[in-house]
Amino acid sequence: MAPSLLPRFLLGRLVKAAIVILAIVVCNFFLIHAAPGDPASIIAGQSGAADARFLEQLRAQFGLDQPLYVQLWLYLKGVLTLDLGFSHRQQVSVATLLWDRLPATLLLTGAAFLFAITAGVAMGALAARRVGGWGDTIITILALTFYATPLFWVGLMLVLLFSVALEWLPSFGMASVGVELHGIDAVLDVAKHLVLPGLTLGLFYVAVYARLSRATMLEVADQDFVKTARAKGVPEGRILRRHILRNALLPVITFAGIQAGQLIGGSILVETVFAWPGIGRLAFEALLARDYQVLMGVFFCTSVMVVLFNLITDLLYAIVDPRVEVAR
């Protein structure tokens, strides 16, 4: 991509991203409010009072007595100022909750993403280099097994093996309870807690990247420019790195950008299994408590992250393949 086209490219993508996020916010608002149940009744039940007068006070306090379009307008104005509402269950603003839980989710999904794409591409490259051999067969079987196995079952089996049987790794939480650690000890403690949930979330995507990398590398290996490089006597390792792998990474990067957003959704189940204090677990707790404001805040946060990941993917795609130019 020419440097002069980069500002125009970013501006166009940002405008489209803003429109997409606005549409998602509106759709999420109507979907949440279409769910059965009265949030005021839930709040009243938690406080031990459910008379009609108290319910009316609660609806007025949280704006539930307003028409739906008025509630939507008030919510959109709040989103524009990053005021995502107030959690009646946690008794704190939604923005504060998200800010406290987001680092844990980013740590989990980031670690799982790096593990998945690194291990997946490496396995795919190894399988493509030894097509039909034992390595290719074993990698294919492992990829299909990881792809077909539910995440929660993988997590439970890893806990039984590494936490219960071998006692190597902690089974839940993000840090040791009742122990005050600092510096490198605190980092290592979080890393130990991160291993099992990161593996659980990443193994499924390892299988996807391995299969995709293998297929694209085999396709690129049959291209004329690869055959020409071999005819010129270029070493096989250099052909693999400079010619085959680099061109095969283009569809992997595109797919990884899409999958990066899906990791946030997959983290809900993993965070629940491992009691990881992220926004996925927060969404699950808010769903059980009918805490609409928190749910909409989580949906808004994840939609922004997905759009951001897609924007980064477009930039990486243009960097990896210089032939890609911005459409005029």
Rounded to whole angstroms, how far apart are CA atoms 93 and 211?
44
For residue 202, what pLDDT band results from cuts at 50, 70 and 90?
confident
**Do 278 and 196 fall within a single domain?**
yes
10 in a domain, yes or no? yes
Which domain covers residue 191, as residue numbers? 95-320
Distance spanning both ends of the chain, measured CA to CA? 12
What is the rounded CA–CA span in Å between residue 245 and residue 41? 58
Q: Which of 47, 81, 115 is the last residue of a domain?
A: 81
CA 308/CA 184 separation, integer angstroms: 31
Domain assignment of residue 306, yes or no: yes
Q: What is the DSSP string of 77-93?
A: HHHHTT---EETTTTEE
Whether residues 43 and 178 share a domain: the answer is no
Cα angle vertex 15, ends 13, 21, to 5°? 100
Q: What tens digit of pLDDT does each residue of 155-198 get?
A: 888 888 888 888 888 888 887 776 777 778 788 888 888 888 88
Query: Is 86 domain-assigned?
Result: no
Residues in the chain: 328
Same domain, 115 and 182: yes
Task: Give residue for tokens 């797919």.
Answer: 255
- State the alpha helices, DSSP H only, in 130-183: 134-148, 151-158
Residues 85 and 75 sit within 8 Å (Cβ to Cβ): yes
Q: At what angle do helices 279-288 and 94-129 cross, to 10 degrees?
A: 120
- C-alpha–C-alpha distance, residues 5 and 3, integer Å: 5
List the one residue out of 106, 98, 61, 24 whose CA is nearest residue 286.
98
Cβ–Cβ contacts within 10 Å for residue 29, how many? 20
Q: What is the DSSP letter of 167?
A: -
Number of folded domains that form the chain = 2
Q: Is residue 229 domain-shared with residue 284, that is, in the same domain?
A: yes
Is residue 217 assigned to a domain? yes
Amino acid 82 reads L
* Residue 87 within a domain: no
In this predicted structure, which of 47-51, 65-69, 203-207, 220-224 has the lowest mean pLDDT? Answer: 47-51
CB neighbour list of residue 311: distance below 8 Å, 6 or more residues apart:
13, 14, 17
pLDDT higher at 29 or 40: 29
Which residue among 48, 81, 114 closes a domain?
Answer: 81
Instruction: Indicate whether 174 belongs to any domain.
Output: yes
Q: Indicate if 119 and 266 belong to the same structural domain.
A: yes
State whether 44 and 110 are in the same domain.
no
Task: Write down the pLDDT at residue 40.
Answer: 64
Q: Is residue 88 one of the residues assigned to a domain?
A: no
Which percentage of the chain shows pLDDT scores above 70?
Answer: 82
Instruction: Report the alpha-carbon angle 173-176-177, nearest 5.
Output: 90
DSSP β-ladder status, 92-93 and 86-87:
antiparallel
pLDDT by residue (tens digit) across 254-285? 777 777 766 776 677 888 888 888 888 888 88
Residues 108 and 155 in one domain: yes
The helix/strand/coil state of 93 is strand
Same-domain check for residues 156 and 39:
no
Tell me, yes or no, whether 44 and 181 share the same domain: no
DSSP single-letter state for residue 175: S
Q: Which of 31, 56, 81 is the last residue of a domain?
A: 81
